[in-house]
Structure 1
């Protein structure tokens, strides 16, 4: 997902060897990319989701599974070890992916997941809460009295309840050691989300993670932990590429249909941002804040897989909503 180093590319560089991460919701998209990048950095990564080789979630994309994600994590970790001369290692070596099928709406399953991590590793250093799977439920430009109420309430369950349930069971393990990191993945920063998202349930669902991170930052402070919310920009996920009928190699062909897709970023950008956050000894300065992949790319100096540094927030704020005469190319 995160690609190889290309011309002008500055990949993330933080070393996470010895760290244990849980990426909840790692079947595809940003979740998968973040898991792979954490593995590339040397972390042992537990990856969860509902789509496996034997079962497909309501999202309905059987071609992407958590087993595949775990394999990609292990491959990236192994390649990084070989490149650094650290050798291969066994199944539980640094940079290994471990798939655990989990429905994060089921407390018993999440409890069993964290008990397994405790039993096998005795620690948890990084929790990335990327659980979602509700895009198929969104009804844009539909008044609350006209929307499908069942879809709206399901959205709350998938995008809010899952995050609270996961934190409830995972944080007792994370706070055992100072320095733990929680990353709440959402859509839009707290600033950009001041504009209505044209769907009440979606708007609420994607704003709640900002408050979760804000609250967890307060609760984790005495344990030396950090919590942030983080959003990608216009993400070229597998689902989005399929929507436009393009691939990662031909994604610019979609700009004719959707001009703003010119600012789109690959999942590598947010993945590298999470890696740098996790490796930053001074990351507590971010605690409680709403961050974006573009913001972290500027702060830490890394780029997307194509060597560019897309500033999606700046483009939408100044050009799309602000009326500035500029193009997406001016913000890459």
Structure 2
């Protein structure tokens, strides 16, 4: 890499579930670091997914390009093996078999999460659908994307989750999904390490996704006003913060030393020196330890 060359110039990334939220933040920041980023999901200019949100993969891809990379939107249902196989075959054909970064960020489980009832009172099909949406999609995507990395003997897989400890997350199927995604990283790391490929799980803190901003009645420009509704929101972080963590991991030549670990943005900002868009360095674990531990108990040690 020459002076002035972006750290991920020439690298190819796939951000599965890059339409909005953390996935969008990751895609854009990989682009800002110079990568070519395939942005996939079901919400596109051709039609919305069943979440019926306005964000599209085309918008994310355009932001990737504006940031300095190359964004390529591909409408993909990551629950459909044939769709994912076609996606990875396209990447292989267009990029001479190259894939350097795979981000499994498919979620879409918010409307399926029941926060009010224990397992025995929940709608079983709804809960199983959440698991298919949030876990099975990751498995399918890795199944077809990993051969590109293994063939080259390098690469990084990032499994995006919520939380990096064994602490119960408040709803049976939600907890199972987010914990399972961490285990996906552990299992992939074990199988990939002999091939020079890294796999980690990564969580943000209190993430200001589009839906969260709407809930607080604010925009990214006015997000601090949301703290009047919830003081903890003052310690939230933008999707770009998560994205910068992924870009830093992807640019680290020694990242394989972290393989199999459950990481967090608050683990990485000091090591890599990145900040949020406003120059701050949110650390939700520190905020939890100072203000929330008496109410909710400790976060626990990372898995």
What does residue range 81-96 of structure 1 map to in structure 2 within 5 Å? 95-96=69-70
- Pick the aligned partner of 2:146 from 138, 163, 171: 171
Q: Offset of 1:119 from its aligned partner? A: 0.7
Q: Offset of 1:141 from its aligned partner? A: 3.2
- 2-structure distance, mates of 1:310, 1:76: 22
Q: Where does residue 245 of structure 2 map in the other structure?
A: 273
Question: Runs in 1 of length 4+ with deviation above 3 angstroms?
Answer: none
- 1-structure distance, mates of 2:293, 2:123: 29
Q: Offset of 1:292 from its aligned partner? A: 0.5
Contact (CA 8 Å) 1:14, 1:275: kept in 2 or not?
no
- Pick the aligned partner of 2:56 from 62, 65, 71: 65
Contact (CA 8 Å) 1:14, 1:279: kept in 2 or not?
no
Mapped pair 1:36 → 2:10: no
Q: Where does residue 79 of structure 2 map in the other structure?
A: 105
Deviations 1:69-123, CA, capped at 9 Å, x for gaps = 111111111xxxxxxxxxxxxxxxxx21100000000000000000000111121
- Pick the aligned partner of 1:247 from 195, 215, 219: 219
Contact (CA 8 Å) 1:272, 1:302: kept in 2 or not?
yes
Determine helix, strand or coil for the equivalent of 2:142: helix
- 1-structure distance, mates of 2:262, 2:180: 11
Q: Offset of 1:318 from its aligned partner? A: 3.9
Contact (CA 8 Å) 2:6, 2:34: kept in 1 or not?
no
- 1-structure distance, mates of 2:196, 2:57: 31
- 2-structure distance, mates of 1:178, 1:119: 18
Q: Offset of 1:22 from its aligned partner? A: 0.4
Structure 1 unaligned spans of 5+: 1-12, 78-94, 324-332
TM-score by length of 1: 0.85
Q: Offset of 1:24 from its aligned partner? A: 0.4
Q: Offset of 1:14 from its aligned partner? A: 6.2
Q: Aligned residue pairs: how many?
A: 291
Mapped pair 1:146 → 2:151: no
- 2-structure distance, mates of 1:14, 1:287: 24
Q: Offset of 1:322 from its aligned partner? A: 4.0
Q: Where does residue 23 of structure 1 map in the other structure?
A: 15
RMSD over equivalenced CA pairs, Å:
1.5
Contact (CA 8 Å) 2:189, 2:199: kept in 1 or not?
yes
Determine helix, strand or coil for the equivalent of 1:202: helix
- 2-structure distance, mates of 1:162, 1:196: 22
Structure 2 unaligned spans of 5+: 296-303
- 2-structure distance, mates of 1:119, 1:215: 28
